Amino acid sequence: MRIRGCAAAIVAVVALTGSVATSAAAAPGTDRGAVRQAMQEVIAAGATGVQIRIHDESGDWTSSAGVAERGRTEGVPTDGRFRVGSITKTFIATVVLQLVAEGRFQLDDPVHRYLPEFGLDPRITVRMILQHTSGLRTHTTELNPDGSYEPGLVDDLERTYLPADTVRFVAAKPLKFEPGTSWAYSNTNYVLAGLLIERLTGTPYAWQVYLRIVAPLGMWRTELPGTGREILGPHAHGYLASPGEDATLVDVTRLNPSFVSASGEIISTTQDLDVFLAALQGGRLLPPALVAAMRDFHPVESIVGYGLGMAQYAFRPECVAQGHDGRMPGYTSKMYGTDDGRARVTVSVTEGAPDPLSGAFAVAVMRLLFTALCGPAGSGMPAVGTWWPIG
């Protein structure tokens, strides 16, 4: 079970008995009312609950809205743990870049050199898998031009999936495009990155994340559960619509995250993610040249770019945010900070809408992020359209 099997006692004790985050009083002139209103709009759009942490010139502030579990009245804990989804990719990319800094390999080395058993195109480099320019398809689902989904490998949220089998599944398919010529988000890229870490260090990638990031930063409520199904300690429940015309919401809080492994398995809190983002932006985890490489953004849409495990939203000239989105069944998350270091925001939304990736729900979640980082959302907020590719 990777980290869970090795440090379950520490994780459980801290998760169950750790102090509750408290909201710092906002400084005079700082308007939190717009953020609270944006949170209520997320609930109205179909979320079950939402929690947020903001760090800015006014200090640290936390709040929540909605309920932790449908059918009950308890609110969402502001120190609750949740599945961060693809924010995991920023952790994995950081470890890969630390190995680059140590001279273990170079960003433009072919992945095939270190993982020859998968028969990957030799043109695919380490940089390409971190930036999603490899051309590899994603093992979860593939969105077709007509908007339909091509079935992927994942068919059961309780089943254990092995990372090597995941890569073989994708490696047998034609590339989406020639390596390095375009961009397409693929969870399989980061499953490969996890295997690359293991090949170069001789230890599970989860251990490397724990030893290099979690332990040094004291992020004791962050966990890589491997095949562990439970979220330990205070948490809100996530829901997913069952398939079929008469869709009903199913509680998917308990699941086996091995289907995403290094591309999305982490469980954390808004506080721990804020600590991680602050350390990353502050240069505590990587040397300046590799921080710059992480922030070398490949254009995706008009206001979105993707670097090496880090995304960028250029909401407007004076408000550019860098970090990552995340999604797991039942959970949507955000971890972003302004590029000038003025503000950081981490958000967890527990889903309850039948279609959480489109329509009013997507608009409301992005409006919340925009409001928290850039001020009250109005005409200055870009329209949420096809630029919802990350997470």
Active site residues: 86
The DSSP result for 138-201, as a single string, is PSS-EE-TTS-EE--S---TTS---HHHHHHHHHTSPPSS-TTSS----HHHHHHHHHHHHHHH
Q: Which of 141, 119, 196, 212 lies closest to 163 in space, CA to CA?
A: 196
Write the CA distances from 141 to 86, 149, 183, 199, 206, integer angstroms. 15, 6, 16, 27, 24
- What is the rounded distance in angstroms from the CA atom of residue 370 to the CA atom of residue 319? 9
User: HEC string of 94-110?
Assistant: HHHHHHHHCCCCCCCCE
**CA-CA distance, 205 to 195, in Å (whole number)?**
7
Short-list 381, 367, 382, 360, CA closest to 37: 367
What is the spatial distance between Cα 237 and Cα 385, in angstroms, rounded to a whole number?
28
